[in-house]
Amino acid sequence: MKLVFASNNKHKIAEIQNMLPEAIQIISLSAIGCYEDIPETADTIEGNAILKADYVTKNFGYDCFADDSGLEVNALGGAPGVYSARYAGEHKNDGDNIEKLLLELNGVSNRKANFKTVIALNYQGKQYVFTGIADGEIMRERRGNLGFGYDPVFVPAGYDQTFAEMAQQEKAQISHRGKATKELINFLTK
């Protein structure tokens, strides 16, 4: 059975393939001839994951899963959330986004935040979602150079290191993406 992962990241695809039985073959967007930018115009993290999965299923006819992630900061009412990747503007980078976040939280003592990943899965005519949450807090300055996005300023609850100071495997055990992926794998291997 072929299942499209709405991504072209070979590493992510291989990682998930390795957790599944051979009968489920994970294929990339390019493998099905989908080269266009898939719209991510929803106003929630879950909405974007669903948009992406539905785009592939409707236009290419494959069962598919897609993910979207964001950082939700309590003192900012859940912002940047679905806008995490473009918090500082459309053509800004991770560093700009972190800078804006630290500025918004300047002098704010409530640093609680969570990362959220939602995976939407279209499978045998039905749609499912799987949500992973990593709770933690926002540091006052960057630490570490692994990972990406807001990892250098996010410390998960109960840890001293930021996500950017953790080895990939350690982070995957406790991260939002790792947890949502585990739910997906549990579902597909049941």
122 binds its own copies (CB under 8 A): no
Contact 161, 155 (CB under 8 A): yes
Measured from the CB of residue 157, what is the shortest distance to its own copies in angstroms? Answer: 5
Cβ-proximal residues to 63 (8 Å cutoff; 6+ apart), any chain: 1, 2, 3, 4, 57, 121, 122, 123, 124
186 binds its own copies (CB under 8 A): yes
Measured from the CB of residue 190, what is the shortest distance to its own copies in angstroms? Answer: 5
Q: Specify which residues 117 forms β-bridges with.
A: 69, 132
Cβ-proximal residues to 143 (8 Å cutoff; 6+ apart), any chain: 152, 153, 161, 162, 164, 165
181 binds its own copies (CB under 8 A): no
Contact 112, 123 (CB under 8 A): no
**Would residue 96 show up in a list of annotated catalytic residues for this protein?**
no
62 binds its own copies (CB under 8 A): no
For its own copies, what does the binding mask look like between residues 68 and 107, x meaning CB under 8 A? ------x---------------------------------
Instruction: Give the three-state DSSP class for 2.
Output: strand
Question: Among the candidate windows 85-93, 94-102, 127-135, 163-171, which touches its own copies by CB under 8 A?
Answer: 127-135
Nearest to 5 by CA among 148, 171, 177, 169: 177
Size of the site for its own copies (CB under 8 A): 18
Give the residue with the Cβ less far from its own copies, 88 or 181: 181
Q: Is the dihedral of CA 31, 37, 38, 43 positive or negative?
A: positive
Measured from the CB of residue 95, what is the shortest distance to its own copies in angstroms? Answer: 28
135 binds its own copies (CB under 8 A): yes
Tokens 């001839």 sit on residue: 33
Active site residues per annotation:
68
Which residues of this chain interact with its own copies, rule CB under 8 A? Answer: 46, 74, 112, 114, 127-133, 135, 157-158, 183, 186-187, 190
